[in-house]
Amino acid sequence: MLESAELLLASDPGRGCQITSLVSRNSGREWLAQSRGAPRRTQPGDPFDGEAAYGWDECFPSVAAGTHPSGPWQGRPLADHGELWSRAWHVEAATPTTLTATIEGWRFPYTFQRRLRLRDGTIRADYEVENRSPADFPAAWSMHPLLRPEPAMRLALPAAVEMRVESSSRGDLATAGDRFRWPRLGSLDLSNVPADPGRLALKLFSAPLTVGRAALVAQDGWLGLSFDTDVASFLGVWLDYEGWPAGAPLEQLALEPTTGDGDDLGKLAARGRTMVVPARGSVAWSVTIQVGTGPRELEAFLGSRPAGVTLGG
Min mean pLDDT across 35-39, 69-73, 129-133, 138-142 is at: 35-39
pLDDT digits (tens, 9 = 90+) for 253-290: 999 999 999 999 999 999 999 999 999 999 999 999 99
Q: Which residues pair with 8 in a beta bridge?
A: 3, 23
Q: Which long-range contacts (CB under 8 A, 24 or more apart) does 159-162 make?
A: 159/304, 159/307, 161/206, 161/207, 161/209, 162/206, 162/207
pLDDT reading at 98 higher than 60: yes
Average pLDDT of span 288-299: 92
pLDDT reading at 312 higher than 80: no
pLDDT reading at 226 higher than 50: yes
Average pLDDT of span 70-86: 97
Q: Measured at the alpha carbon of residue 265, what is the angle toward residues 202 and 229, in degrees to the nearest 5?
A: 75
Give start and end residues of each alpha helix (H) in the chain.
265-270, 295-302
The answer for residues whose C-beta is within 8 angstroms of residue 258's C-beta and 6 or more apart is: 63, 140, 141, 142, 143, 205, 232, 234, 235, 236
Report the pLDDT value the prediction gives residue 311, as an integer from 0 to 100: 62
pLDDT digits (tens, 9 = 90+) for 127-145: 999 999 999 999 999 999 9
Handedness of CA 150, 38, 116, 57 (dihedral sign): negative
Report the pLDDT value the prediction gives residue 260, as an integer from 0 to 100: 98
Average pLDDT of span 21-49: 92
Q: Residue 308, by phi and psi: left (phi above 0), alpha (psi -120 to 50) or beta?
A: left
Sheet-wide strand order for 221-227: 90-94, 98-104, 110-119, 122-131, 282-292, 221-227, 212-218, 154-156
pLDDT digits (tens, 9 = 90+) for 200-224: 999 999 999 999 999 999 999 999 9
Q: How far apart are CA 205 and CA 281, in angstroms?
A: 28
Mean pLDDT score across all residues of the chain: 95
- Phi and psi (nearest 5°) for 296? -70, -40
Neighbours of 109 (CB within 10 A): 15
The pLDDT confidence band at residue 159, using thresholds 50, 70 and 90, is: confident
CA 43 distance to own-chain centroid:
21
Average pLDDT of span 50-59: 96
For the chain, the domains span 2-302
Whether residue 16 contacts residue 55, with contact meaning beta carbons closer than 8 Å, is answered with no
CATH topology assigned to domain 2-302:
Beta-galactosidase; Chain A, domain 5 (2.70.98)
Q: How far apart are CA 5 and CA 16, in angstroms?
A: 26
- Phi and psi (nearest 5°) for 185? -115, 105
The DSSP line for 109-133 is: SEEEEEEEEEETTEEEEEEEEEE-S
The pLDDT confidence band at residue 40, using thresholds 50, 70 and 90, is: confident
Instruction: State which amino acid sits at residue 274.
Output: T
Average pLDDT of span 78-106: 97
The pLDDT confidence band at residue 41, using thresholds 50, 70 and 90, is: confident
Nearest to 143 by CA among 289, 310, 291: 289
pLDDT reading at 313 higher than 50: no
Whether residue 242 contacts residue 198, with contact meaning beta carbons closer than 8 Å, is answered with yes
Report the pLDDT value the prediction gives residue 307, as an integer from 0 to 100: 55
